A and B are shown apart, each in its own frame.
Chain A
C-alpha cells in the first residue's frame, strides 16, 4: 500500500526542484491529495502541470493509487 511519504519522495525525485505535500484523504492508503510546487511548472497550463505529476506514477494511478487529487503551481 503506498504511503504519503512514498508519494512525496517519488514526486520530489522525479520533478527537479519540486516540493510536495501529500495527505491521505480517507486514511485508507488509496485516496491521496498532493500539493506540488515546482519551478518547471512555470508557463505550463494546469492540464500540463497535472499530467507531469500523473506521469510520475504512470499506471499506479487507477491501480494501487485509486485517486490522486492535485493542486499544482509554479511559485513557492
Chain B
C-alpha cells in the first residue's frame, strides 16, 4: 500500500505473458469528491481484448469512485463477453461487487416495451378514445350528482360549499378589481383613438359600457379564475389522489363527484356571475376615469351615455356567460385533478392542464356565444 494523497490514476497495460490480455492498473487516492479518471480508454481498448485483470496495489485509499469505474468496465466487458478477473481489486471492493451482483430478491416488474410507430399510434388512439369516454363519464356523473343535489339527496357538507364560495368568490375580489379596472382603461384608450377622429369621443362611454358588460367582464373574470381557482382545484384533488384520500372516500362509498367536485362547481357557477357583476362596475369606472380625466367628458354626460347604451339584455347575457364559464373552469380543474398520474410531476401537469384547458374552453365558448347571440339578435 502506498500512503499519501496522490491523485487517482488509471492506466492500461498489456499482460506480457498472454496475448490480448489487458491489465487495468489503478493507483492513488480515489475520492468521490475529487476528480477521478473515466473508464473510457479501457472501454475503447476492449474491442481488441481477450481478457481483463485489475491491479490495485498502488491504491492508497478508495471509495465509491473506484467502484464506479470498475462497475462500468465490468458491465462493458459483460456486454462484449470479455472475461474479467476482479481478484486484483481491494478485498472490500471485491466483496461489495459480489454483494451487488447477487440475484435480486424477487424478479422486478418490467415496463411494457415500447413498440414501433404503428403500435404507438394505435396505443395513443386507444388512450384518446378512453379519455373521451372518461370525460363523458365525468359529465354524466356530474349531472347525476346535480340531480341528487336538487332533490336534496347529495352527500356534501354545507360547510365545504361555504368555504369554496369564500375561496373562489370573495378572496378573488382584489385581483378581479385590478384586472378589470385596467381592462376598462385599455378599452377607453383604444376606443378614443378611432372615435376622436370622428369627433365623437363621448361615445367612448357607450363602447366601454357595452364591451365590458356584454363580453369583457365575464371573459376577464373567467381567465383570472382559471389561473386562480381552476389550478387550485386540480392541484388539491391531484394531491388527494396521490395521498389516497380519494380512495378513502371511495371505500366509504362517499361519491367523490358529489362530495368534492359538486361543491366546487356550484361555488364557481354561483360566484362567477357575482364576480362579473362587480367586474362590470369596476371596468366601467376604469373607462370613466379615462373618459373624464383624459378625454374631458363631463361626468354627467358619461353617466347618461353609459346608462343609455347598456341594456338589461347585455347585462343578463354577460352574467349568463359568466355562469357558463364558471362551469367550464370548475369542470376542467376538477377533471384534471381527478384523472392525473400519481407523482409530484403529475400534480404539476394536472394544474397546467387545468389552466390551459379552462382558457381554451372559455375562449371557444365566448366565440360560440358571440355567434349565437348575434344570430338570435341579442
A and B are partners in one complex rather than unrelated chains:
no
